[in-house]
Amino acid sequence: DGVAQGRGINCRLCTKALKKIQALAGDDPDEAAVAAVLQKGCQVLGRVKGRLCQQLVNKYRDQIIEGLQNGDMPQDICAAMGICRS
């Protein structure tokens, strides 16, 4: 599974992607808003990172949506998914 390898790079990518997604979703997003932004948030990262981001989103979609709705910090969400060390 490519997502779990190279934690340092993926941790930065995860955090960066979630910061972007969080900014696009705004404060107190509903599930539909987060889902729509997940697609857009990955596209702005470029082709290679965007593809990794998309894999991440597909695999952890529910955790990402829940984390963003709870107002969790991107670093904490990535740690909860096991991508970053907490």
Domain ranges of the chain: 3-81
**pLDDT tens column, 8-66:** 778 888 888 888 888 888 877 788 888 888 878 788 778 888 888 888 888 888 898 89
Residue-level length of the chain: 86
Distance between CA atoms of residues 59 and 77, nearest Å: 13
pTM, two decimals, is 0.74
The position carrying tokens 């340092």 is 8
> At which residue do the structure tokens 């990955």 appear?
42
Domain at 3-81: CATH architecture = Orthogonal Bundle (1.10)
